[in-house]
């Protein structure tokens, strides 16, 4: 049992920056999840200037926080400070869950473990990379004081290096950890306007 105060089995933390054109698939996939475990979904708006908040509320989600410091890492830290789940799953608002049982399967698989890996699908991305933070479900008290650094991109690298190291893994052998047998998460790689998109466009211009 977690040594931290627990009100939910899982806290899902989703940072959002101007996602009005991209967030609906994630919202739909969350609404379609089968009940079975207590889950809180925390949206952290990161200086949004569009209708992202209105769309989230229109879909029945009302746990919305605001982060004034720019960057996904800062927004995730804000969500983590408020999370009350035994486990934490960081997701991106422009991705989505693949099956209605994704949350239940992830929670059940993670029981009595500190960190587990979630398989993903993507039409544009074929590699495995250790720092894709949305591919992990992590016990909240295991995270402890680990936080995302105040820079981007690659803020996930620092967080996951520390978390994986604490679990006895590194960036080369993390694929050996306990992993859900079937993909449950869709990664919308290189979505226009995302950090990954801007980073790759910059690399192409250099």
Q: Is there a domain that residue 85 lies in?
A: yes
Q: Would you state the pLDDT for residue 36?
A: 92
Q: What residue ranges of the chain have pLDDT lower than 50?
A: 1-2, 196-206
Q: Is there a domain that residue 181 lies in?
A: yes
pTM: 0.90
Name the phi and psi angles at 160, rounded to 5. -75, -30
Q: Please choose, from the candidates 206, 127, 201, the residue with its C-alpha nearest in 3D space to the C-alpha of residue 171.
A: 127
- Asked if the bond preceding 160 is cis, omega within 30° of 0, the reply is no
Structurally, the chain folds into a number of domains equal to 1
Q: Is there a domain that residue 63 lies in?
A: yes
Q: Please choose, from the candidates 48, 49, 50, 51, the residue with its C-alpha nearest in 3D space to the C-alpha of residue 65.
A: 48
Q: Is there a domain that residue 90 lies in?
A: yes
Q: Would you state the pLDDT for residue 126?
A: 83
Q: Is there a domain that residue 130 lies in?
A: yes
| Residues 135 and 118 sit within 8 Å (Cβ to Cβ) | yes
Any residues with CB less than 8 A from the CB of 187 and at least 6 apart, and which?
A: 92, 95, 120, 121, 122, 125, 132, 134
Q: Would you state the pLDDT for residue 6?
A: 84
Q: In which domain, by residue range, is 143 found?
A: 8-205
Q: Is there a domain that residue 2 lies in?
A: no
For 59-69, the pLDDT digits (tens) are 999 999 999 99
Q: Mapping DSSP to helix (H, G, I), strand (E, B) and coil, where does residue 29 land?
A: helix
CATH code for the domain in which residue 180 is found: 3.90.550.10
């Amino acid at each position: 049992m977690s040594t931290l105060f627990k009100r939910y089995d899982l806290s899902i933390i989703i940072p959002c920056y101007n996602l009005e054109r991209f967030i609906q698939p994630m919202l739909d996939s969350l609404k379609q999840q089968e009940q079975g475990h207590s889950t809180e979904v925390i949206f952290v708006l990161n200086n949004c200037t569009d209708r992202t908040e209105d769309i989230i509320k229109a879909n029945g989600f009302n746990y919305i926080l605001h982060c004034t410091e720019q960057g996904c890492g800062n927004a995730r830290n804000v969500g983590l400070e408020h999370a009350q789940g035994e486990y934490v799953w960081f997701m991106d608002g422009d991705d989505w869950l693949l099956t209605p049982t994704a949350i239940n399967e992830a929670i059940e698989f993670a029981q009595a473990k500190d960190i587990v890996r979630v398989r993903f699908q993507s039409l544009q991305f074929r590699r495995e990379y250790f720092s894709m933070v949305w591919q992990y479900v992590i016990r909240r008290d295991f995270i402890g004081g680990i936080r995302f650094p105040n820079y981007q991109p690659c803020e996930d690298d620092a967080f996951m290096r520390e978390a994986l190291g604490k679990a006895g893994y590194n960036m080369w052998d993390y694929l050996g950890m306990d992993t859900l047998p079937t993909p449950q998460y869709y990664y919308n790689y290189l979505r226009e306007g995302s950090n990954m998109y801007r980073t790759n466009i910059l690399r192409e211009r250099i």
